[in-house]
Structure 1
Amino acid sequence: MDVLRRNNVTVTGNADGPAVVLAHGFGCDQNMWRLVVPALADRYRVVLFDYVGSGGSDASAWSEERYSSLDGYAQDVMEVCRELDLEEAVFVGHSVSAMVGVLALRAAPERIGALAMVTPSPCYIDDEGYRGGFTPGDIDELLASLESNYLGWSATMAPVIMGNPERPELGQELTNSFCATDPDIARVFARATFLSDNRADLRDVRVPTLILECEQDVIAPREVGAFVHAAVPSSRLVTLEATGHCPQLSAPQATAAALLDFLETLGRDG
């Protein structure tokens, strides 16, 4: 199968610049990056794609066996990078895609030279000495609600995840994005996302890493950003003056500025 068609790959920006791969989170697609791309496109080769089962991807390529764990999404990343012959690319992962990037880096280190994690969480469930933001009961309830009435869950949860209630159009956009996803595919992706625990994998990250968190985020509270920063030796933590879980939509200028600063640092150090 043509990987570029399967994953609805779009390449834009400076064809001669370093490659920056933008990866979307659960229930979203590459359109979530549209407000950030123009700031990157002058200097960087920007690669966007949709995970199989999301956005404009070829849903016929989806299988529950492959995508029931985050390794299946990491496989998408590796295959896209291989198809484009990317080396030392900067992988920018939003939400669950931050951990997908960690897994892809481990599997194909020659393809990824740096990571930028936007509102990441390696584990959503509270544990002894760790605050992920949710109790096991919270996650069970979230998944049960999603599986019993996905459209209703989307309409309720998307505005909460987005935050910024004074800007309801943002919550509506995320609701629409969630609702455009096949409920059966969303169910599998949600379980892979909210039941994952990649805390131990962070110790193996040895590339320059940017962690972007928001001042208030119900999905990835500030304690999570501090944990990721402490676990990744070569990381830099930046707190955006933004609220919600999707700063590329709610605060695109601040998000783009932080990414550009990180990319420029990589260029100087490289």
Structure 2
Amino acid sequence: MTPNLQKKNNISIEGNTNAAKTIVFANGFGTDQTSWNNVKQAFKDDYRLVLFDNVGGGNADLNAYSPIKYNTLNTYADDLLAIAADLELEDAVVVAHSVSSMITLLASVKDPKYFSKVVFVGASPRYLNDEHEQYTGGFNQPALDSMYEAMTTNYYAWASGFSSVAMDNPDKPELGAHFAGTLSAIRPDIALAVAKVIFESDIRKEITKFQKNTLLLQTQHDIAVPSEVAEYLHHNINGSTLQYLDAKGHFPHISAPQEVIKAVKSFI
């Protein structure tokens, strides 16, 4: 592995490093690769595991981040392709959460050879409602503006509140606290810039070009991604499978890892 790339994305290679098949775990906004800790254990004996942090979060190289360069999800997709090329991946399985699902989709459309199957957990091609297209994304612009304002006014208070609501497991407050920790570790100005890129992205036009065996995992209630979004993806990704998990919140891989493990194992 190229040392510069390893430092840039804090790449970890774990599990059975001699295995024929590789699983790439890709985390969503506000988390880092530790969000997969309870899921990856189930695959470490039979697969080579690749984990990394997106630039701007986790332990990725802070110097690699630029708000001008990373003002589109395509830059993150290019980073994923650089990792895949450097590790000479072939027909790898990608298990991606939230925004990393669409990053994986963009990367796969650009260069499909690296990935065979994908699992998208809590994925959304567009978070904003689009009345013209009769599309429900779950947010309107005033709601996003209000969130940006809260992030700007008192980032750490916002992170604490948003974490528990997004985790949606009030009986396990430690889970929300863990997310609040990784979210608070991101520099506030970077978090705000990245949030705007994510929440105002629109990947719908790319979906028709996407040709991978896809499993969509959705919880019973997700504040960030309503079920209409999961149904939209299922309808528009050719041959995809949509599975509702016995879980709540936007982070089932953290709150209900056994549900995610079971679904991924039966799919791959």
TM bin, normalised by shorter chain, reads over 0.9
**Match status 1:163 vs 2:165:** no
Contact 1:4 1:83 in 2 (8 A): no
Match of 1:54 in 2: 57
Match of 1:197 in 2: 202
Task: Give the superposition deviation at 1:77.
Answer: 0.7
Q: TM-score, normalised by structure 1?
A: 0.94
What SS does structure 2 have at the residue aligned with 1:204? coil
- 1:219-238 aligned within 5 A: 219-238=224-243
Match of 1:266 in 2: none
What SS does structure 2 have at the residue aligned with 1:216? coil
Task: Give the superposition deviation at 1:185.
Answer: 1.4
Structure 1 unmatched ranges of 5 or more: 264-270
Match of 1:260 in 2: 265
Any idea what the Cα deviations from partners look like across 1:134-162, whole Å, max 9, x if unmatched?
11211121122213321121011111011
Match of 1:173 in 2: 178
Amino acid at match of 1:76: D
**Match status 1:105 vs 2:73:** no
- 1:118-133 aligned within 5 A: 118-128=121-131, 129-133=134-138
Whole-angstrom CA distance in 2 between matches of 1:248 and 1:54:
18
Q: Of the candidates 141, 144, 149, which is equivalent to residue 146 of structure 2?
A: 141
Amino acid at match of 2:77: A
Whole-angstrom CA distance in 2 between matches of 1:93 and 1:65:
25
Contact 1:25 1:96 in 2 (8 A): yes
Whole-angstrom CA distance in 1 between matches of 2:206 and 2:183:
28
Q: TM-score, normalised by structure 2?
A: 0.95
Percentage of identical aligned residues = 38
Any idea what the Cα deviations from partners look like across 1:158-178, whole Å, max 9, x if unmatched?
110110111111111111110
Match of 1:75 in 2: 78
**Match status 1:42 vs 2:37:** no
Structure 2 unmatched ranges of 5 or more: none
**Match status 1:94 vs 2:80:** no
Any idea what the Cα deviations from partners look like across 1:77-129, whole Å, max 9, x if unmatched?
11111111111211221011110011111112111222210010111111222
Q: Of the candidates 110, 113, 119, which is equivalent to residue 116 of structure 1?
A: 119
Alignment RMSD, CA only?
1.1
What SS does structure 1 have at the residue aligned with 2:208? helix
User: How many pairs are equivalent?
Assistant: 263
Match of 2:67 in 1: 64
Contact 1:91 1:116 in 2 (8 A): yes
Amino acid at match of 1:172: A
